[in-house]
Amino acid sequence: MKRLIFRSVLSVAIAFLLVVCTSEKTHAQAVGVLLQNNLMPASGGMGGASIARPQDVQSALGANPATLSQRKGTQFSFSGAWVEPTITIDNDATLPLANITPFEAKSKRPGSLVGNIGLTQDITALGVPATLGMGLLTSSGLGVNYRDAIESNGTSAELAILATAMGAGVELTDRLSIGVEAVVATANMDGIFTGVSSATPDYNLRAMLGFTYELTEATTVGGFWHTQQKHTFDDFVRFLGPGNPFQDLSIALPNVYGLGIANNALVDGRLLLALDLNYFAWSEADFFRAIWDDQFTIQAGLQYTTCQGIHYRLGYTYAEDASRDVVTGSIGGISPQSSVDYIQALFPNFSEHRISGGIGVKDILPGVDLDLFAGGMFNDTHRFNQTAASAESYWVGFGTTWRFGRGGCKHLCVPERW
């Protein structure tokens, strides 16, 4: 019977992935440069919805640390995803300082392989109602490459941020949990200012605070606050002229605020509905405040669980167009040789609609869960003065989770045999 279930699930999953990958209308990217749990094993199939009751380890670390308290025993999860964006630019402007003339081109930057690893351990056996968690997460990234177009004068841009996260979720009462998490992130920035900038690394810290509260046995609400994550890329730009020709570039990921609710009262508890509301304060973040306004997003997901322990997931995300209508003459403390309008087109954050789906099998082997997911963002186009950009993308991925009971869940921390 289990073999038949496995074959059925595998066939459905493969068919689903093929449909998504061959669709002409459902391709996508993340929210600006933030991935917002869209590439996690279970949440990836639920539109990223994961603030109140995340269904995988990595999503608890990536959004609301209070939900770590929902993970019992020892759990280790590894996931990977392939993200394939399609971003094009149609530039009608002549920018003499940057030696850029009108051109139209598709970004030649290849897709990205994204990995996320999470580990949780509850310590109730020590008399502490808490769960510790740590992970290696891909938190954000975006890039374009138009070097094949001679008229672009080698235009490209790249931002990638990898994070190491450590946190804890504590059950203050039977209903209320709080969580705190510290994130150390390494960022790499390249391009943007044509011909005068180079790849530069930096690292910095970020804190995450969160809570969950069980309104009823079937309904949980949660919320979080992610502080700003600031990066200064030393000597990023070199301008010709007297004095010190080098200039630093300041970039910050924004304060992010989220509220979520999850309910499983329907279909005898087998249908989980989740809704997340997120607010991104881009107007307070260095670099991005020059090109993006504050942004509001909605992430909605559902998960139906069969009697055989198979999870079917669907999700939808709506994200406001964050592009500023009026921009200043500088960005990140630097006056570019091109224009801020042109740089806006290199960092698209205007596509509003995303869909996703996934499938998961619990105990595909004893204590081992398997998740598959796929999703995409609908094509959209935005004009920035004399430069227009269009963006779409798709992603597919998987996750495997190992669950162990000993050493937690109020069990004694002793081996099976001495």
Q: In this predicted model, what pLDDT tens digit does every residue of 242-285 receive, in sequence order?
A: 566 788 888 999 999 999 999 999 999 999 999 999 999 999 99
Token output for 12: 């459905």
Token output for 32: 């600006």
d(CA 66, CA 343): 38
Range with lowest mean pLDDT among 179-188, 226-235, 318-327, 405-414: 405-414
Q: Say yes or no to pLDDT of 406 above 80.
A: no
Tell me the DSSP string of 358-373: EEEEEEEETTEEEEEE
The b-or-e profile of 283-303 (16+ CB within 10 A means b, else e) is eebbbbbbbbbbbebebbbbb
| pLDDT score for 76 | 97
- Rounded to an integer, the average pLDDT of 174-183 is 97
| pLDDT score for 331 | 82
- Rounded to an integer, the average pLDDT of 142-166 is 90
Q: Which residue shows structure tokens 């990638």?
A: 160
Token output for 9: 């699930």
d(CA 179, CA 126): 18
Confidence of residue 169 (pLDDT cuts 50, 70, 90): very high
| pLDDT score for 276 | 98
| pLDDT score for 211 | 98
Confidence of residue 372 (pLDDT cuts 50, 70, 90): very high
d(CA 228, CA 110): 29
Look at strands 156-171 and 219-226 and give their pairing: unpaired
Look at strands 200-214 and 176-191 and give their pairing: antiparallel
Q: Say yes or no to pLDDT of 31 above 90.
A: no
Tell me the DSSP string of 170-184: EESSSSEEEEEEEEE
Q: Provide the whole-model pTM.
A: 0.87
| pLDDT score for 249 | 86
Phi, psi of 5 (to 5 degrees): -60, -45
In terms of pLDDT, which residue wins out, 245 or 145?
A: 145
| Torsion (CA) 289, 112, 312, 318 in degrees, nearest 10 | 20
Task: Please give the DSSP secondary-structure letter assigned to residue 216.
Answer: S
Averaged confidence pLDDT in the chain: 87
Q: Which residue shows structure tokens 């950009």?
A: 389
Domains detected in the chain: 2-404 (2.40.160.60)
Query: What do you get for the CA distance between the two ends of the chain, in Å?
Result: 37
Residues whose CB falls within 8 Å of the CB of residue 246, separated by 6 or more in sequence, listed in order:
235, 236, 237, 238
d(CA 88, CA 107): 6
Q: Say yes or no to pLDDT of 18 above 80.
A: no
Say if CB 67 and CB 53 are below 8 A apart: yes
- Rounded to an integer, the average pLDDT of 318-342 is 83
